[in-house]
Amino acid sequence: MAGENRTIDNKLLKWVDDRLPVVSQMQHEMYDYPTPRNLNYWWNFGSLAGFVLVIMIVTGIFLSMHYTAHTDHAFESVEHIMRNVNFGWLIRYIHMNGGSMFFIVVYIHIFRGMYYGSYKKPRELLWMIGVVILLLMMATAFMGYVLPWGQMSFWGATVITNLFSAIPVVGDQIVTLLWGGFAVDKPTLKRFFSLQYLLPFVLVGVIVLHVMALHKAHSNNPLGIDMKGPQDSIAFHPYYTIKDLFGIGVFLMVYAAFVFWAPNFMGHPDNYIPANPLVTPEHIVPEWYFLPFYAILRSIDFGFLFIPAKLLGVIAMFGSIGVLFDLPWLDTSPVRSAKFRPTYRIFFWVFLLDCVVLTFVGGNAPGDPVFSGVAWFKWIHLGQIATLYYFAHFLVVFPLLGYLEKTKPLPASISEPVLKGGGNAPAGAAAGAVKTAPMEKA
Amino acid sequence: MATPTTAGDHDESKRDFLTLTAGGFAAVGAAVAVWPFIDSMNPSADVLALASIEVDISGIELGQRVTVKWRGKPVFIDRRTPEVIEKAREVKLGELPDPQTDADRVEKPEWLIMVGVCTHLGCIPKGQKPSEPHGEFGGWYCPCHGSHYDTSGRILKGPAPKNLIIPPYTFATDTKIKIG
Ligand code: HEM
Ligand code: FES
The residue that leads in pLDDT, B3 or A420, is: A420
Active-site residue flag, A219? yes
Residue A427 has pLDDT above 50, yes or no: no
Instruction: Report the residue of A194, A310, A378 to disrupt the B interface, i.e. the one with the largest count of B CBs within 10 Å.
Output: A310
**Residue B36's pLDDT is what?**
87
Q: Residue A238: is the preceding peptide bond cis (ω within 30°)?
A: yes
Distances (CA, A) of A188 to A63, A219, A324: 19, 41, 30
How far does residue B34's CA lie from ligand 1's centre (Å)? 28
Residue A72 has pLDDT above 90, yes or no: yes
Subunit contact A176:B74, Cβ cutoff 8 A: no
Amino acid identity, residue A279?
A: V
Amino acid identity, residue A306?
A: F
Q: Which atom of ligand 1 is nearest to the CA of A148?
A: 40
The contacts found for A201-208 with CB under 8 angstroms, 24 or more apart, are A201/A57, A202/A136, A203/A53, A203/A133, A203/A136, A203/A137, A203/A140, A204/A53, A204/A57, A206/A129, A206/A132, A206/A133, A206/A136, A207/A50, A207/A53, A207/A133
The residue that leads in pLDDT, A271 or A1, is: A271
Residue A186, SS3? helix
Subunit contact B159:A365, Cβ cutoff 8 A: no
Residue A97 has pLDDT above 60, yes or no: yes
Under 8 Å CB-to-CB from B47, ≥6 apart: which residues? Answer: A180, A181, A182, A185, A187
Summarize the confidence of residues A65-70 as an average pLDDT. 96
HEC string for A189-243:
HHHHHHHHHHHHHHHHHHHHHHHHHHHHHCCCCCCCCCCCCHHHEEEHHHHHHHH
Summarize the confidence of residues A188-206 as an average pLDDT. 97
Active-site residue flag, A165? no
Is ipTM > 0.85 here?
Answer: no
With an 8 Å Cβ cutoff, is A163 touching chain B?
Answer: yes
The residue that leads in pLDDT, A2 or A36, is: A36
Q: Which of B144, B149, B163 to mutate to test ligand 2, by most ligand atoms within 8 A of the CB atom?
A: B144
How far does residue B88's CA lie from ligand 2's centre (Å)? 21
Q: Is A140 in the pocket of ligand 1 (CB under 6 A)?
A: yes
Residue A178 has pLDDT above 90, yes or no: yes
**Residue B5's pLDDT is what?**
54
Residues in B closer than 8 angstroms to A158, CB to CB, are 121-123
Residue A419 has pLDDT above 80, yes or no: no
**Residue B2's pLDDT is what?**
52
Chain B residue at shortest CA distance from A295: B145
| Domains of chain A from N-terminus onward | 28-284 (1.20.810.10)
**Residue B4's pLDDT is what?**
52
Dihedrals phi, psi of B41, to nearest 5 degrees:
-85, -15
Q: What average pLDDT does the structure give for chain B?
A: 88
Residues in B closer than 8 angstroms to A180, CB to CB, are 41-44, 47
In whole angstroms, what separates CA A54 from the centre of its chain? 15
Residue A398 and residue A330 in contact, taking contact as beta carbons nearer than 8 Å: yes
The residue that leads in pLDDT, A346 or B130, is: A346
**Residue B13's pLDDT is what?**
86
Q: What average pLDDT does the structure give for chain A?
A: 90
Residue A63 has pLDDT above 50, yes or no: yes
Instruction: Report the residue of B52, B121, B140, B165 to disrupt the A interface, i.e. the one with the largest count of A CBs within 10 Å.
Output: B121
Subunit contact A187:B71, Cβ cutoff 8 A: no
Residues in A closer than 8 angstroms to B140, CB to CB, are none
Minimum distance, in Å, between the CA of residue A207 and any CA atom of chain B: 27
Residue A423 has pLDDT above 50, yes or no: no
Summarize the confidence of residues A136-152 as an average pLDDT. 96
Minimum distance, in Å, between the CA of residue B34 and any CA atom of chain A: 14
Query: pLDDT-based confidence at A5, cuts 50/70/90?
Result: low
Parallel/antiparallel/unpaired status of strands B147-149 and B155-157: antiparallel
Q: Is A144 in the pocket of ligand 1 (CB under 6 A)?
A: yes
Which range has the top average pLDDT, A280-284, A390-394, B67-71? A390-394
CA-based end-to-end distance of chain A: 11
Residue A231 and residue A436 in contact, taking contact as beta carbons nearer than 8 Å: yes
* Relative orientation angle of helices A241-261 and A45-64, to the nearest 10 degrees: 50
**Residue B116's pLDDT is what?**
93
Summarize the confidence of residues A314-319 as an average pLDDT. 94
Query: What does the CA dihedral A336, A338, A339, A340 come to, rounded to 10 degrees?
Result: 60
Residue A432 and residue A416 in contact, taking contact as beta carbons nearer than 8 Å: no
Q: Is B142 in the pocket of ligand 2 (CB under 6 A)?
A: yes
With an 8 Å Cβ cutoff, is A177 touching chain B?
Answer: yes
What is the C-alpha separation between B164 and B65, in angstroms, rounded?
15
Q: Which of B43, B69, B146 sits opposite A278 (nearest CB)?
A: B69
Q: Which CATH number fits domain B48-179: 2.102.10.10, 1.10.600.10, 1.20.1080.10, 3.40.50.2300?
A: 2.102.10.10
Q: Which segments within B31-128 are labelled E, that is strand?
A: 53-56, 65-70, 73-79, 111-115
**Residue B165's pLDDT is what?**
93
Subunit contact B44:A187, Cβ cutoff 8 A: yes
Residue B3 has pLDDT above 60, yes or no: no
Per the document, the length of chain A is 442
The A residues from 49 to 88 touching B (CB cutoff 8 Å) are: none
Residues in A closer than 8 angstroms to B74, CB to CB, are 277-278
**Residue A272's pLDDT is what?**
94
Residue B54 has pLDDT above 80, yes or no: yes
Least confident range from A108-122, A184-198, B12-26: namely B12-26
Protein residue with its CA nearest to atom 30 in ligand 1: A61
Instruction: Give pLDDT tens digits for B32-43.
Output: 989 988 998 998
What is the C-alpha separation between B159 and A296, in angstroms, rounded?
13
Summarize the confidence of residues A318-328 as an average pLDDT. 97
With an 8 Å Cβ cutoff, is A270 touching chain B?
Answer: no
What is the C-alpha separation between A32 and A330, in angstroms, rounded?
34
With an 8 Å Cβ cutoff, is A176 touching chain B?
Answer: yes
**Residue A440's pLDDT is what?**
32
Chain A residue at shortest CA distance from B120: A310
pTM listed for this prediction: 0.86
The residue that leads in pLDDT, B94 or A352, is: A352
Instruction: Report the residue of A149, A158, A190, A280 to disrupt the B interface, i.e. the one with the largest count of B CBs within 10 Å.
Output: A280
Active-site residue flag, B148? no
Subunit contact A162:B121, Cβ cutoff 8 A: yes
Which ranges constitute the DSSP H helices of A364-432?
379-392, 398-404, 415-420
**Residue A425's pLDDT is what?**
42
Subunit contact B67:A278, Cβ cutoff 8 A: yes
Query: pLDDT-based confidence at A428, cuts 50/70/90?
Result: very low
Residue spans per domain, chain B: 10-42, 48-179
Summarize the confidence of residues A52-72 as an average pLDDT. 96
Summarize the confidence of residues A102-121 as an average pLDDT. 97
Query: pLDDT-based confidence at A2, cuts 50/70/90?
Result: very low
Instruction: Give pLDDT tens digits for A227-255.
Output: 988 889 888 888 899 999 999 999 999 99
Q: Which segments within A44-192 are labelled E, that is strand?
A: none
Summarize the confidence of residues B91-104 as an average pLDDT. 89
Q: Is B119 in the pocket of ligand 2 (CB under 6 A)?
A: no
**Helix (H) or strand (E) run with residue A316 in it:** helix A309-330
Q: Is A239 in the pocket of ligand 1 (CB under 6 A)?
A: no
What is the C-alpha separation between B75 and B70, in angstroms, rounded?
6
Query: pLDDT-based confidence at B6, cuts 50/70/90?
Result: low
Query: pLDDT-based confidence at A418, cuts 50/70/90?
Result: low
What is the C-alpha separation between A163 and A175, in angstroms, rounded?
9
**Residue A1's pLDDT is what?**
39
The A residues from 351 to 370 touching B (CB cutoff 8 Å) are: 365-367
Q: Is A196 in the pocket of ligand 1 (CB under 6 A)?
A: yes
Query: pLDDT-based confidence at A303, cuts 50/70/90?
Result: confident
Cβ neighbours around B73 below 10 Å, total: 22
Query: pLDDT-based confidence at A430, cuts 50/70/90?
Result: very low
**Residue A421's pLDDT is what?**
57
Dihedrals phi, psi of A298, to nearest 5 degrees:
-80, -20
Closest CA to B140 of B150, B99, B68: B150
Cβ neighbours around A220 below 10 Å, total: 24
Closest CA to B113 of B66, B161, B72: B66
Residues in B closer than 8 angstroms to A300, CB to CB, are 159
**Residue A76's pLDDT is what?**
96
